Structure 1
C-alpha cells in the first residue's frame, strides 16, 4: 500500500467512527433509562409471562408444609415399603467383571459394558474415552464395575488412574 491508499483508509475509518459516535450519543432510545419499575408492574409482567409470584412468607410456609410428614395413618405402610426397597437395593447391587485383554479397542469394551447393562450407550462411552484421552491409557486385567458408576468413574477404574 502506498501513502495515498493508507490515508484514504484511515479517513474512511475516521468517518465511520464519527457516524457511529453521532448515532450513539445523539439518538435517544424510545424507553428512558431512568424508568422505574414498581412492584405491581413487575408482578403483572411476570404473571403475563406465566410465572407465579409469591411473597417470602408464603414461600416459607410452603417449604415448611412440604417438609412435614403426612398426618394420615398410611405412614407405617410407607415406612415398611421404604425399608423393603432399601433392602432390595442393597441386595441387588450388580457387579460386572470386565476383563480387558490385549488388542481390545475402546469400542469393543464399550459394547461389552452396554451388553452387561453397565452403560446405556456404547457409542457415547467410546466417544467419552476418546475425548478425554482415556482410550490410550486402558490397562489389561479384570475390573469390577457397577451400573451406577459414571463414565468418569468407569474410565478411572479401567485406566487405574
Structure 2
C-alpha cells in the first residue's frame, strides 16, 4: 500500500510543478485598463467632485469650519441654559382646590385669577367641547402657569 501512496504523491507533485511552470511561462493577456495609468491632478479631482455636487475644502478651511461649529454649539448651549433658568424662574406653582358645588365657570375664573390660564371663557369652552367638563374631580391639584388647557384638564379629571 505504501508504494501506491508514494507513487500517487509523486504524481501530484509532478503535476503541480508542471502547472506552476506553465503558469509562469505563459504571457498574460494585455488588459489595457489595468496597465493604463491615469494621471489625476488635485484640480481635476476638485472639479469632478464639485460637478457632482460635493463641497471641496482644504485642510485649513475644514479646521476653520470645525472651530466655527464648536463656537456655535457652545453659544447654543449658553442660550439654552439661560432660557432654562428664566423658564424656571417664571414658572409659578399653585395648589388649586376644587370644592363641592363649584361650576366649570367658577373653576375657570379662579384659574384665570391665579394666572394659570389667560381666558376663563375659552378654557370653559375647551372643557365642554373636549368632554372634560363632566369628569372634574373634587380635591387639591398642583398646577403651574405653563400648563396647556389639555394638561390642566387631564390633571383636574384624574
Q: TM-score when scaled to structure 2?
A: 0.49
Larger radius of gyration: 2
Structure with the larger helix share: 2
Q: Output the TM-score relative to the length of structure 1.
A: 0.48
